[in-house]
Chain A
Amino acid sequence: MAPAGPRSGDAIFASAERVNAELFTLTYGAIVRQLLTDLEEVEEVNKQLDQMGYNIGIRLVDEFLAKSNVSRCIDFKETAEVIAKVGFKMFLGVTASVTNWDADGTCCSIVLEDNPLVDFVELPDTCQGLYYCNVLSGVIRGALEMVSMKTEVTWARDMLRGDDAFELQVKLLKQVPEEYPYKDDE
């Protein structure tokens, strides 16, 4: 039986089926490479990576909710913390931190110092303008949309572009109230 309370990202990751990260990293790299060949335009590749991430996010959120056992977050601040501490850990095995909150608590940064997507990766000069990890921003946007939060996710720092960390800026645009087609006690 699943424990009653929320589980830590570490505990979920430890008990999950895991695979060799090289396979994941190289597969993602090969996808980006093929997209660059097939689509030619870097801008278009950024868009497609984001779209792929979005599609993954809307599916992955189910697994996240089922395994993490987190209850409803009280506000966007808690949501961001849960993504950083539980979400990143249970899937990618790394932890992220949340910083740079704006005054009204609707915009923050998720900072990633360790990112398995970019092991072995070095971008050639021809790929300037490529947001190599754009799949991640798509995943977050897709997953949050499934829990009624419309967000805009953009890269503020990118180690492949010479920055000292990966920083995703997550901006809450709109919280869509959930409408259930049924009552709780039915």
Chain B
Amino acid sequence: MSMHEITLIVNGKPQKLTVKSNELLLNVLRDKLFLTGAKYGCGIAECSACTVLKGDRSIMSCLVPAVAADGWEITTPEGLVVDGELNAVQEELVNKGAIQCGFCTPGMAMTGTACVRENPDADEAFVRDYMRGNYCRCTGYQAIVEAILAACEDAKNGKRV
């Protein structure tokens, strides 16, 4: 099995790491960089709890070999917070009471952020379609959709997403 020297740019900071060829990005983020925002849910890209951003696009870190992510710019849920302030999607998830057990929330914040960045003019149908891969077993989704729609308004009013 091969070992690899890689550099991940995580939340704006370059991180030099040595990884085995079969190590996964999610486990490297959680166990080596101690960024535990992204969650291990299903492990097979069905639940989206492990979602991170590559650039502005959402990906599932449970299915990415860490070595394949060499040089990528990754944002984890921690990276959405700047100087202690939540971004608009995170803040609206709190405001709208869109969190119950909270396990899916980091993934919702990541995909929701990608959604707002891609289309701040999104309507409810667009948001529901965009978020269709993110599973929540508590809330029934309504409050989450409302939070992302509210974040779209915030974004248009100049709030950081």
- A in complex with B: no
Residues of A within 8 A of B (CB): none
Residues of B within 8 A of A (CB): none
